[in-house]
Amino acid sequence: MTSRAEEIAQNLAAVQTRIRRACEAAGRNPVSVRLLAVSKTYPPEDVTACADAGQLLFGENRVQEAIAKMPLCPGRLQWHLIGHLQSNKAAHAVESFDYIHSVDSLALLQRLDRLAVERGRRPTVLLEVNVSGEKSKSGMPPDQLAATLAAVPGLQALTVAGLMTVPPIAADPEEARPYFRELRRLRDDAQAATDLALPELSMGMTHDFEVAIAEGATFVRIGTAIFGPRPPMVPRLES
């Protein structure tokens, strides 16, 4: 019999090993890739088990769910918001998250900066880019990146550290490679065109993180391989 905590610890160790191997294969230093354990839909007990096994960075995709969970988890953790952020939840996001990976417009970037100044917070953010152009995906179109980055020198509280993307769902992880490569190219071009340092590339999930590491990921966001498959999302009923 394996307890839930042991299962999570074993899964985490297996993911860490795969990350190390992917780094070796790509000739990269393993410390250049940070693992975000994506705990959405999973309870605080699972987060605690994962933290006890040495994991400190956690990703959540819904502000409300995360805020309810955080006080029930160990205090030493760093929380990253990775899901689409509605502007009416921006204040809560600034209060509760250390990183926001899903900034998908200039308006949201400026709003987050104002809210962070008001609240004395200094979160780090990434700009989410919809590289594939799929309508169902969040993220700004690549052609809005330059105008958004032009606002960065005027920000007072936020640090913009890089880019994030979610590629289209595909059976073969290799199909994600062009999107990861394109995000890196957009980052390289942006750095060359500005004085900004944009070291972070948040890309790669359970299904395709080894490919993302080969293409330069610095954050991989992994849920299923650590916590197991999530139940399908159930639409909320009107009450």
Q: Which parts of this chain interact with ligand PLP (CB under 6 A)? A: 38, 40, 61, 82-83, 166, 205-207, 221-224
How far apart are CB 204 and ligand PLP at their closest, in Å? 8
Task: Specify the residue, 67 or 117, whose C-beta has the smaller distance to ligand PLP.
Answer: 67
Tokens found for residue 149: 């980055």
Residue nearest ligand PLP by beta-carbon distance: 223
Contact predicate 76/55, CB 8 Å: no
Tell me if 99 sits within 8 A of 148, measured CB to CB. Answer: no
CA 151 to CA 132: how far, in whole Å? 24
Closer CB to ligand PLP, 68 or 147, in the complex: 68
In which residue are the tokens 């160990």 written? 74
Angstrom CA distances, 19 to 45, 99, 120, stand at: 25, 21, 35
Query: What minimum distance in Å lies between the beta carbon of 221 and ligand PLP?
Result: 4
Residue pair 207/238 in contact by the 8 Å Cβ criterion: no
In the complex with ligand PLP, the residue whose CB is nearer, 121 or 207, is 207
Shortest reach from residue 170's CB to ligand PLP, in Å: 13
Nearest-approach distance from CB 61 to ligand PLP, in angstroms? 4
Q: Please report how close the Cβ of residue 167 comes to ligand PLP at its closest, in angstroms.
A: 11
**Residue (58 or 70) nearer to ligand PLP, CB:** 58
Helix (H, G, I), strand (E, B) or coil at 150: helix
**Distance from first CA to last CA of the chain, Å, rounded?**
41
Q: Please, which residue, 123 or 223, has the CB nearer to ligand PLP?
A: 223
